[in-house]
Structure 1
Amino acid sequence: MNKICLKSLTENDMKEFMKEIGEKPFRANQIFSWIYKEIESIDDMRNISKDLRKKLSEKSKLGKLEIYKKFESKIDGTIKYLFALEDGNIIESVMMKYEHGVSVCISTQVGCRMGCNFCASTIDGLERNLQSWEILDQVLQIQKDIKTRVSNIVLMGSGEPFDNFENVKKFLEIVNEKNGLNIGYRHITLSTCGIVPKIYELADMQIPINLAISLHAADENTRREIMPIAKSYTIDEIIKACKYYIKKTNRRITFEYSLIKGINDRKEDVNLLGKKLKGILCHVNLIPINKVEERSYEKPDKNYVYKFKENLKQAGINCTIRREMGSDIKGACGQLRRKHLNKGEK
């Protein structure tokens, strides 16, 4: 019998589960609250009877990721986690401390099948989707480890969130629960390489999360060269969907733009980018590319990056350069997992 994972349930789901196993609905509130008190097992739920704990153990499981390894940056205190899943797979998450609170960047898949040429996560393809509770438990285990509340979540680790959208939607519902983590939608960012139908679907949900688009090029040929998804959806189609999202949610879009030396950092690139994004409620996040050992891409000179930024601002586009976090611990997406998989440490 497949046991239901308690961490995959909303509070209302928990009430339905209690009915199914012949228990009173009020038990759901007790059990639900225990999940967010960093317990290790169902037996730690001390205010429910031994018989109910036994019944729960027979029909359900708590679900738990194990911290396989963690690495703390000596530069900025960023912590990179490798989590071991129950099936032996490895995923990674990142904890970053800012003045405004703790942010975590979490994974939605084991690997990724989108194939972006500059990203280490895609090199071995997609292993499998993460279940909603496995996405959630990255946050719970990090909170427990650092003994500090997580205030911001970024779905920008390994995987394409829209490629696992049913589990991601469930995660968003669970993480927003008032009696659970109670993290507001405005403190959650979902990053996508641009799966257009899902942008419309998310917009129609009308939940005010932040949407980040991995654009990385302003012309179609360059984008197709570095991002296979561009063969399915054009830049204009993505921008049209983004405008719909803004109209539905009144939320500003972030366009992620990884600067690759000699590929997408030219004067004509910044000019075209400015034209494409003119008049859109948006912000461009410039990311000097992280070196991936299996790829030949290089980041531009720092002065060149600042020049690109200034040219974009002159075109009327709000723009910042992403602060590099955890560079001494291979903090970029997919790098640390790749390193350990190459050593056979799965």
Structure 2
Amino acid sequence: MSAWEELIEKYQDYADAPVPAKTGSLAQWILESGRGTSVLAKEHLNFGGLKFRQRMVGYAEPVDYRGSDGEMTTYCKFSSLGEFIKGYWHFVDSGPYTEWRNNCGSPGAYVRYLASSGYAADPSYVPKVTALFGEAADLMHVDGGVRPLEPGNSNAIEPSLPDWHELRAKYLNVRTSPVLGIVLHDTAGSGSHNDTIYLSNPQDGRKVSVDFTVERDGSIWKLNPDLRAHYCNHAGRSTAWRGFRNAQVNSVTVGIEIVQKSDLSLSPVYTDAQVTSVARLCAWLTHEFDLRASDITTHRQIITDGSRSDPRKFPFDTPNGFWAKYWECFGRRSQFVASLGQGEDDAEGELLTNAA
């Protein structure tokens, strides 16, 4: 489990702040840390872009760090995820934001209050964070954000059923539990249609299978004839996800293998058509099985022995990457791209707004 996932689990159990403020603050952390990917988050467990102040003595250590504004500044370094959560709320409670309790009836009210009190210099900070309330609510498993198809969302659209080819997998199991999540993999094989053929009927004694493959040309292959009746052997060994372990993970998830060569030598590593098809398939699956975006995970995130890192180099958080294409299926692409703080054509970079 990644530090970001652990942070979310810990925050779900945190009881010293009301749910709207927790949802708003988590949306801040999504933006500030790039969903846990910033150097400040990975090396110093500072997911909120918190600059060091004297009032943080005893809660954090000072560390010099060059933020996204290009300036070298002293930030907070936390000793643990729990200390970051405690430190964030001390930062808010002991600074110029002490009236936050009177401004937390909704995530928006909380974030607007912080911004009006000088929390961040970026004039676009509030709309950027607001665009992430739905994702934050999904991660917290609360009804505090905009749902993809909520009637009040005038741009909401329903994801369409993607086109696919069918090829039945040899190894199928009887599914007795509902579909609760989606696991993304890469095949690490030949990078061709042969990977799909192999997963439909392995000839090397391995009893592996997968629900879908997505090939380089964007074609989707459905290997599980009935997703509600069967599950496949796509993860299994040394995996853990939301209390399920090993084969249990397979029994409650749908697996998608993204066709990729073992040495990542293909150029581009993933085609635009491939990324688009993965996103559209995931959007349809989340709608079909009443899932949330936070129910989409990767093999790397659920492996417990460190033996897998797939889907390797898959473009998730870029202006034209997986999540942008996923939210486009719900009519929310512009909100997601705005949350990145980048233009449509900008390269992926560290996401940090240097909130003070």
TM-score (structure 1 length as normaliser): 0.26
TM-score (structure 2 length as normaliser): 0.25
More strand by share: 1
More helix by share: 1
